Every structure is written in structure tokens, then in C-alpha cells.
């Protein structure tokens, strides 16, 4: 019977949303394998740390980004996924505003950059598969949980919320039904303020009702958008 020899790693898929564009944070590898190629940030789990601590540490070390919460995505364990040997990776993902962070490459990364998910470079290892699954999970997630509070300005026109969902879903939505459904959840407070965009009429501004918003997230309401 062969002696088991498996190493454990973590990967962090960090999506960014800004002005109707979804991006993903990638690093250029400093060392082999795949030296000089782009990859998802990540690395090996240390003997004395949890998976969550490992992924937060690797993300901060390689990109300069510190995120308090990343959601576990999936485990990737194909025996041939890493040329260095049998390495199982636990992938995590999160969604942030890129302009809230100052990124810089360090440790195993020679460069770090945000890439539009529609204009991605060739990726190392099986990271294309990891990213594809993360995109599908994100699109599924926003149909059963309100997402957007952390990604929009404190005060925003309703059209910005519509644009967020259209972008994340990658398809058009029924705007009338979407507005009706969102309003029915009572997560928005309409303000006595307006903003002008383009040549159209000034639009009312809204802000999220934090208490109700986080309660809905906890409950996992089905949006059926």
C-alpha cells in the first residue's frame, strides 16, 4: 500500500465590481511552475493555521488585500492538477469594490492586477476551472440573497442597482418586476434627494436599510430574478 503524500493549499477568487464591470484579481507567478504566468492568489496551508486564516494570509501576502470574509467555494483534487505533486486546493471567493484597496505584489507574486472577466489572460494550473465555477456560484448566489450594499455608493439611483444585477447575472432583467420585487422586500429607503444623469429627468436617490438588509441576507430570501 502506497504511503499517502498529499499537500493542502488554498486559492482566493476575488471579484471586483465597478461601473458595470466585473473583474477578478490575478497575480503573476514569480517562481516555477508556471513562472511568469497569471494565476489566482493562493498557496500552501501552514501546519498551525485554519483554512480561513491561510486564505486570508495568502491573499494579503500576495496582493496586499485584506478581506475579513471569503466564502468557501469548492475543493479541487484532481491528481494531475499541479505538476509539483498531489495537491488538493480549497477555493474561496468574495466580491469587493476594487477602488477600496491598494494592491501590491509580494512573496510569490511578481505582479498583481485586476482583469475584466471578459478579457482574461491564460491561467495557470486548473485556475480556469476554479474561476468558471466561482462565476457560476456568484450568479446563482444573487438569485437567493440580496447582494449590492457593499458595492454601491451610500446613496444611489435605482438604476445603479439594476446595472449591478444585470452585470452580475450576465443577462438582461425585467426591470419593472425587478423594481417591484426589490421594493417589496423593504431593504431600500427612498430619500428626499435627486441626482441627474445624462439628459433624463433627475432620479430619486435610495440607500440600503442596513438592519433589514442583513436580516434578509441571514434568512436567505429567494429573489427569483
Cα gap 66→1, rounded to integer Å: 43
Half-sphere exposure of 70 (CA within 13 A, CB side): 30
Is 111 among the catalytic positions? yes
Cα gap 160→95, rounded to integer Å: 17
Q: Which of 52, 71, 111, 113 is catalytic?
A: 111
Q: DSSP for 134-147, please give it.
A: HHHHHHHHTTTS--
What's the grid cell of residue 105? Answer: 505584489
Q: Which residue has the cell 436567505?
A: 220
- β 156-157/7-18 pair status: unpaired
Is the alpha carbon torsion for 107, 125, 73, 174 positive or negative? positive
As a residue count, the chain comes to 225
Q: Quick one: CA torsion of 213, 219, 220, 224, rounded to 10 degrees?
A: -80
158-169 and 127-141 helices, crossing angle to 10° = 140
Residues noted as catalytic = 111
Amino acid at each position: 500500500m502506497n504511503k499517502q503524500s498529499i499537500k493542502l493549499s488554498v486559492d482566493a477568487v476575488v471579484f471586483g465590481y465597478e461601473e458595470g464591470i466585473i473583474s477578478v484579481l490575478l497575480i503573476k507567478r514569480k517562481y516555477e511552475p508556471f513562472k511568469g504566468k497569471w494565476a489566482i492568489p493562493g498557496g500552501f496551508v501552514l501546519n498551525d493555521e485554519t483554512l480561513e486564516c491561510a486564505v486570508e494570509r495568502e491573499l494579503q501576502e500576495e496582493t496586499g488585500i485584506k478581506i475579513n470574509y471569503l466564502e468557501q467555494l469548492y475543493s479541487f483534487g484532481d491528481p494531475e492538477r499541479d505538476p509539483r505533486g498531489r495537491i488538493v486546493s480549497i477555493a474561496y471567493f468574495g466580491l469587493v469594490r476594487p477602488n477600496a484597496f491598494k494592491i501590491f505584489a509580494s512573496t510569490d507574486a511578481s505582479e498583481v492586477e485586476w482583469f475584466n472577466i471578459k478579457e482574461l489572460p491564460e491561467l495557470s494550473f486548473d485556475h480556469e476551472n476554479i474561476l468558471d465555477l466561482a462565476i457560476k456560484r456568484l450568479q446563482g448566489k444573487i438569485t437567493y440573497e440580496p447582494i449590492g450594499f457593499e458595492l454601491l455608493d451610500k446613496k444611489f439611483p435605482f438604476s445603479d442597482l439594476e446595472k449591478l444585477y444585470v452585470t452580475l447575472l450576465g443577462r438582461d432583467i425585467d426591470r419593472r418586476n425587478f423594481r417591484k420585487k426589490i421594493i417589496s422586500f423593504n431593504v431600500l429607503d427612498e430619500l428626499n434627494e435627486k441626482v441627474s444623469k445624462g439628459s433624463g429627468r433627475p432620479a430619486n436617490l435610495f440607500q440600503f436599510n442596513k438592519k433589514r438588509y442583513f436580516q434578509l441576507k441571514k434568512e436567505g430570501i429567494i429573489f427569483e430574478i
